[in-house]
Structure 1
């Protein structure tokens, strides 16, 4: 009986596929997009995002898209996304990201208190005409410290 459920990072064939993926145009596009996001240079996102964009099933525009990111980094000023996994199936890109940031204030804590967040994010992007036309994303907060229990 074969217990394999899919490609594994320990599988040499999978590693070679992942390495080749970096040379694909959509993978490069996404890494460039992520670099702009991590630099918080959101005014440059017009190079990557369509003027009209579907955001989690709702038709919006680039201003709404940018405003969402600006709101996030206004609270967590050092917020950064680290790419953990990337899958390209044109015209789609799927990304698993670990995002981290700190804030020096929250509504529930006294002034001067620092709070760190770590978030696991899953995102899908539909790319057409060299622009993000559609975005679907979900995030889950993770504890900022070591895990309390052993993984399964």
Structure 2
């Protein structure tokens, strides 16, 4: 979405000649840049770097956690799929909220949920909402289609993964 559209809709109550639009554009750019930096750490599997983007207590799907515990949740996935990669297909920013639609890919080269490495590639969708607080990620609501990833690695030889 064009940031000017975001600002125009967010500033309906304000005279267009005020500084509201510039302030919102700056905040939009700031949050987008912050998020893309975070996504780089994710794709590098840099858990300490990821944790530095979180508030001291962060809620993941409404469960309070500390930053190190949140980042550690990625370890089993990246151990099983060393090339696990999130590609942001769409990013929407509304105030302190960031919504992202991802395409996620990886190659199954380690044990995952009891399934030994198959060498199969997986491709799934993920949708995540983030709420920022003082420039840090304070809350995350996430849904990744891990059932689809399991179906893809369990697919028999010669069958098309679903």
TM-score greater than 0.5 by the shorter chain: yes
Alpha-carbon distance change, 120 to 17 in structure 1, aligned in 2, over 3 angstroms: farther
| Aligned residue number for residue 30 of structure 1 | 35
- CA RMSD in angstroms comes to 3.0
Contact between 2:86 and 2:102, CA under 8 Å: does it hold in 1?
yes
| Aligned residue number for residue 116 of structure 1 | 121
2:136 counterpart of 1:128: no
Structure 1 unaligned spans of 5+: 1-13
2:64 counterpart of 1:41: no
Q: Distance in 1 between matches of 2:4 and 2:143?
A: 26
Between Structure 1 and Structure 2, the one with more strand by share is 1
Q: Distance in 2 between matches of 1:132 and 1:126?
A: 6
| Aligned residue number for residue 50 of structure 1 | 55
| Aligned residue number for residue 83 of structure 2 | 78
C-alpha distance after superposition, 1:121-150 (max 9, x if no partner): 0000000111100000001237879898xx
Alpha-carbon distance change, 73 to 90 in structure 1, aligned in 2, over 3 angstroms: same
User: Helix, strand or coil: the match of 1:77?
Assistant: coil
User: Helix, strand or coil: the match of 1:78?
Assistant: coil
- Structure 1 runs of 4+ off > 6 angstroms? 20-23, 142-148
Between Structure 1 and Structure 2, the one with more helix by share is 2
User: Helix, strand or coil: the match of 2:79?
Assistant: helix
Q: Distance in 1 between matches of 2:32 and 2:93?
A: 7
Structure 2 unaligned spans of 5+: 8-24, 153-158
| Number of residue pairs aligned between Structure 1 and Structure 2 | 132
Contact between 2:51 and 2:71, CA under 8 Å: does it hold in 1?
no
Contact between 1:53 and 1:59, CA under 8 Å: does it hold in 2?
yes
TM superposition shift of 1:96: 0.3
